[in-house]
Chain A
Amino acid sequence: MAGLQELSLDGLSKHYGTVAALDGVSLSIARGEFLTLLGPSGSGKTTMLMAIAGFVTPTGGRILLNGQPIQHLPPDKRNFGMVFQGYALFPHLTVARNIAFPLEVRGMPKSEIDRKVGDALGLVQLGALADRLPRQLSGGQQQRVALARALVFSPHLLLLDEPLSALDRKLRADMQIELKAFHRKVGLTFVYVTHDQDEALSMSDRVAILRDGRLLQLGTPSELYERPATRFVAEFLGRSNFLAGKVEQTSADGFVFRCGSELFVQLGPERKPDVGTAVLVALRPERIRPVEPGSQLVNILDGTIAEFSYLGTAFHLLVDTAVGRLAVTVPTWRHGAPPVIGSKITLGWDADASIRVEQD
């Protein structure tokens, strides 16, 4: 594979009339990184990918490959591999000819094409299907042909547009693992678009969360999950409870805030708010646990079980409290008997289990 390249976006925008599909996005993609663009539909993630690929002409900003602007280049001059939604294999060409396509259009000698196609087929383990037509392949096989085709010409980087969305749930999980392993094997920079948060968390080195054409947060999956910057990010990645309150007191490593009649302590590395400001604190359901009444935990809250569901490994509870209804996930092994609706329960969490987020 070619030497690894560095791609960066600088204030990239795409406006359709007054509508901004992409609004001043800047980010750098490291060499060999698996970067996922994640967001709900209409967030601009696909527009961003298409702008990188060259199918969408940006209305502002630059795209830089190793520092050189490339936003004016047509797609065929960028030398990026791309795997399309639904794979977009050429229906009239065999597997081998599909893979040979990018080499043929580059005018490569026949012998070299044959060799490279053979290598690529070996890489995706499809040597036996070289003479099939795409419609004779399963979804997973098509996926691998699309990958081989996108990689065979040693592209600077690989762009993937929701490549797994056409597969069923089980195959999808398998392909996630396969794709991740593949990334490690070829060591190429992957830019991956999806609307599926699990996919993003399980595969990526870093995830960029987009909303309404803006980049909300960029970070590793655990950073995003553990330290979401905004309410939207916290909600979009997993589930979260939100406690809205007013700061009563601050200290070196945290603050105390009032939420209705209750006082809670919040410790964390984020910027300290001034006393009296309104704050929003996110609290993951699995960070809350049932405790004995009168527990020594710093954050304690009494409530009544309103609903519950059994998830095999855990119980999911909805608990009515003085600060509203909270979602609580309790591992089954920690809960002796099944919960009883209407029974009293005391909830507790550590001071560093919650995180302050921006209201957006």
Chain B
Amino acid sequence: MNDRRSAWLLIAPALLLVGVVYFLPLARVLAISVMEPEPGLGNYALLFTSAPIQRVLLTTLRICVFTTSITLVLAYVVAYVLTHARPTAQRLMMLGVLLPLWMSVLVRAFAWVTLLRRQGLVNNALIGMGAIDEPLALMWNEIGVTIGMVHYMLPLGILPLWAAMRDIDGRVLAASRGLGASATQTFVRVFLPLSLPGVIGAGLLVFIFSLGFFITPAILGGGKTIMVAEYINVQIHESLRWGVGTMIASTLVATIFALMFALSRLVDLRTLFGAK
């Protein structure tokens, strides 16, 4: 009993800090969303009445779902190879995974511009090989945004997957083979289910990060792919419709919490984020 009380005392400063720097501003955002321009739920009604806001949310959702799915598939392959590589190769591959994380998102987006634009490396190479006559529209649309976002998200997807796969007991896989399961059966029946917490963790992480994505869509979307983060930014900084901006932000936060809650019913979140 006494131990418990001193434990609370010990974490009190941290709780206070989290409360002040995190929950207080969040509460203010929430407050503005129901106070401006006038008290009430008028801003939230826009979710149901404003076609542009619905479209922005829908675009965001679509891009995030695509980005998350593609990232998960690619990250799974990379993490699988990484887990099964020899230690030296593993270190080199890890460097390859982490290196982009230290590069500015802006630099990476512009690197994609040089690759994907009409006279970019990809289109020029394809035309040079005679594969196409007209440059493909790889950028200034949702394809470009998705490519850029998947690239940014890959390390975020790979790391939780790798951690989950690394924890899978090799003897369990051997047991499966020994009990008569082929390599494919072993993957489907044992490896995949055991890596599922990693898949969910990586998916959640990538999806949440994608929801708030801003720079990549702005650069690779040709100005036409307006995702929710950019929309909020314009509301806050330019149009000064703070009520609308904070309403969408609050909705976003609520969505994320709801997602986390739903997932916590499915898997132990502590295992996802390495706390256990």
Contact = CB atoms under 8 A, between A and B. Distances in A.
A106 interface: yes
Contacts of A75: 174, 177-178
Contacts of A356: none
A105 B193 contact: no
A88 B169 contact: yes
A81 B171 CA distance: 14
Contact of B171 (A76, A88, A102, A105): A88
A90 B190 contact: yes
Contacts of A89: 172, 175
B87 interface: no
Contacts of B179: 76, 81-82, 101-102, 105, 149-150, 153
Nearest to A159: B178
Interface in A74-127: 74-76, 79-82, 84-86, 88-92, 101-102, 104-106
A105 B172 contact: no
Contacts of B169: 86, 88
Contacts of A91: 172, 194
A55 B178 CA distance: 8
Interface residues of B, number: 17
Nearest to B178: A82
B181 A85 contact: no
Contacts of A80: 178
A53 interface: yes
Contacts, number: 68
22 contacts: A74-B182, A75-B174, A75-B177, A76-B179, A81-B178, A82-B175, A84-B174, A84-B178, A88-B172, A88-B174, A89-B175, A90-B172, A90-B175, A90-B176, A91-B172, A92-B194, A102-B180, A104-B189, A105-B180, A105-B181, A150-B179, A159-B178
A153 B178 CA distance: 12
Given A92-B193, A101-B181, A85 B171 contact: yes
Contacts of B178: 53-55, 75-76, 80-82, 84, 159
Interface string A247-273: 000000000000000000000000000
Interface string B97-116: 00000000000000000000
Nearest to B190: A90
